[in-house]
Amino acid sequence: MNNKPIGVFDSGIGGLTVARAIKKLLPNESLIYFGDTAHLPYGDKSEAAIQAYSIKITDVLLEKNCKAIVVACNSASASAYNLLQEYAGKRVEIVNVIDPMIEFVNKHFRRQTVGVIGTKRTVESNIYSKKLKVLNNGIICKSLATPLLVPMIEEGFFNQRISHDIIDNYLSSQGLADIKALILGCTHYPLIKEEVTNFLEHKVEALDSSEITANFLGQKLAAKGLLASEKVENDEFMVSDFTQSFESSTKLFFGELIHLTLYKLWE
């Protein structure tokens, strides 16, 4: 059972940041990645739509005999995680990208003000603020929707003048005044972490969920005796629609051209 794969899914390339972090931390593990490129971005979709996509993808990953499923998308984590736990939580370990971040912030930023940037869906859910408030730790959470960032990143516009201007415009918002840390509340955003950090002049810590989630997953699998006992080399990458940006991004992340398998969710 230990050598079964870990499933990871997102609407597009953002979840590759989480997949890369998992491979770095847990090199023995094999991954099955599902990029729902036919429906990206999730951030402007309804909760019902995101739930439907997430259930369908979970079924695909269950068919692949995954021992764990990582919801590598903040929008899906906010909208569908509880439903996925009810649907499949007794059959497979399910990890989202929000709870590990909440645990990290609660440990390191008590009684301080933190900011969150993310998609409209994530910010409108107010999930970070709600979860931090329940912990009664004195943390004030300020949120800002940054809807242009995901399509900008998906189209490859980062570390360029256009991305600098968009990032500067968003992060100049008074809604993020006086924060001590900024949660990058979308798995796409680690790709612009350097630009964000430069804008913040290294005075505010930018927190991305990829490494935090990978560590959380590793601890969870270890506690349940589910870590791979030997190295397995059979990673698989599936997409619901072929896109040039996704193919290019897999090579950027993993250092080689990755074979993509087309899996149309509703055909």
Nearest to 80 by CA among 21, 9, 133: 9
DSSP 169-188: HHHT-GGGTT-SEEEEESTT
> What is the model's pTM?
0.91
Other C-beta atoms lying within 10 Å of the C-beta of residue 262: 12
**Hey, what domains does the chain have and what are their CATH numbers?**
6-96+211-262 (3.40.50.1860), 99-208 (3.40.50.1860)
Q: Give tens-digit pLDDT for 121-157.
A: 899 999 999 999 999 899 999 999 999 998 898 888 8
Q: Which residues contact 219 (CB under 8 A, 6 or more apart)?
A: none
Q: Give tens-digit pLDDT for 4-20.
A: 999 999 998 889 999 99
CA atoms within 13 A on the CB side of 246: 25
Which residues are part of the catalytic machinery?
73, 186
Helix (H) / strand (E) element for 33: namely strand 31-35
pLDDT reading at 264 higher than 70: yes
The pair phi, psi for residue 212, each rounded to 5°, is -65, -45
Provide the pLDDT for residue 245.
74
DSSP 141-154: EEEEE-TTHHHHHH
Q: Give tens-digit pLDDT for 19-78.
A: 999 999 999 999 999 999 999 889 889 999 999 999 999 999 999 999 999 999 999 999
